[in-house]
Amino acid sequence: MQKIKIAVIGGGAAGFMAAVTAKENNPNAHVTIFEKSNKVLSKVLISGGGRCNLTHNCKSISQLIKNYPRGGKELKKSFSQFSNSDTIEWFKKNNIRLKIESDNRMFPESNSSQTIIDLFIRKTEKLNIKICLSSKVDKIQHSKGKISLQVNNKNIKFDRLIISTGGYPKISGFKLFKELGYNISSPVPSLFTFNIPNDDMTKLMGVVVENTSAKVKGLKLKQNGPVLITHWGLSGPCILKLSSWGAKDLADLEYHFITQINWLSENEEFARAGINKQLTSKKNIYNSNPFALPKRLWHHILEKVKIDELQKWNVLNKKLRNRLINTLVNDEFTVNGKTTFKEEFVTCGGITLEQINMKTMESKIHKNIYFSGEVLNMDAVTGGFNFQAAWTTGYLCGKNASK
């Protein structure tokens, strides 16, 4: 193995996977991680509420790529080299036992993201990988396959460069890469919740409705899954998936739009049949919910359609029946703004993938420069898929840059 110097820009999940893989593949390589902040793996620390949702238990690559609104088709080539099953095996070999939750998300058995951070820190120490904190790269020069980095006003030369900086909220963050000639898809937020200020629905904060579907009025966007009502609006997997697939469109609308919620995730005929079965009953409607909706939500919907709390099913008139059915399957909310999903900021946008060899992650423009993680124009819904893209692309960068 040749003695080469490899620089990794970015101390996140993709950067550490790239650095560790490079050194394990070529023990003679000198590997240095440059991190502009004073800490590493900060996103790993907060992932999954501090439990670290490492990956997802998808059974096939074709199923896996369906969770990437941007980059799924291109990632198919990458996943054919290192898939989620390879990720699971990699952590297993490194004595990290994983568990599968009911929704197929995967976490370390320890239920602590610190387990993953400790693993990567141990490995970098054992492999003598150098970590430089508070080290901002201000310039990248490439000439005849050789790379020079300007770091804290010092010029350092390297044979290979792996760029794993993560995403940026504004296109100005991609300045270094634009100067090198890369095309950038303008970044916009992905994975956010919907603000519905001044809507009475927010009084139900904490209520979860397990089976719903949601749409954006005027767009061909629809997602299914649980909805969580918060003190500012609508959240939960269904809304987060909708925001991810609609990231560009919703940015164009400046986050002012109407979302339509089907609380039953069923059609109007289903709702009508459920209500018709109750029409001979003398029970109080407030106390007799035929759809097993959360009690607080059921009462809220009845209030919204102006059904009196003493109303009996057997005397419910046609007008109120129709209003109730419409609200159950097509409840509308005016969205005015967004809230980023916790601190797990995800962007849609970045370096366009046609400039990258997705089997090796090497740049098609510059020999010996590789890219991994969210700096690329790829992103996923929640469930461990963004980390999976980081592990895969980081691994491929390390494997191929170390040759």
Kindly give, in sequence order, each residue whose CB lies less than 8 Å from that of residue 245, ignoring residues fewer than 6 positions away. 69, 221, 223, 381
pTM of the model: 0.93
CATH class (in words) of the domain with range 5-188+347-401: alpha beta
Report pLDDT digits (tens) over 170-189.
Answer: 999 999 999 999 999 999 99
pLDDT given for residue 247 in this prediction: 96
Per-residue pLDDT tens over the stretch 382-393: 999 999 999 999
Residue 230 has which token pair? 């918060």
pLDDT bracket for residue 167 (50, 70, 90)? very high
Residues 6+ apart with CB under 8 A from 126: none
Is 113 buried (19+), middle (13-18) or exposed (0-12) by CB count in 10 A? Answer: buried
Q: What is the C-alpha separation between 315 and 301, in angstroms, rounded? A: 18
High-pLDDT (> 90) share of the chain, %: 96
Amino acid in the structure at residue 357: N
Q: Is the pLDDT of residue 26 over 90?
A: yes
For the segment 345-351, the average pLDDT, to the nearest whole number, is 89
What contacts 328, CB < 8 A, 6 or more positions away? 262, 263, 264, 271, 291, 301
For 115, counting Cβ atoms within 10 Å of its Cβ (0-12 exposed, 13-18 middle, 19+ buried), the class is: buried
- Confidence category of residue 344, pLDDT binned at 50, 70, 90: low
Mean pLDDT value across residues 304-332: 97
Q: Is the pLDDT of residue 341 over 70?
A: no
Residue 266: per-residue pLDDT: 97
For the chain, the domains span 5-188+347-401, 192-340
To the nearest whole number, what is the mean pLDDT of the chain? 96
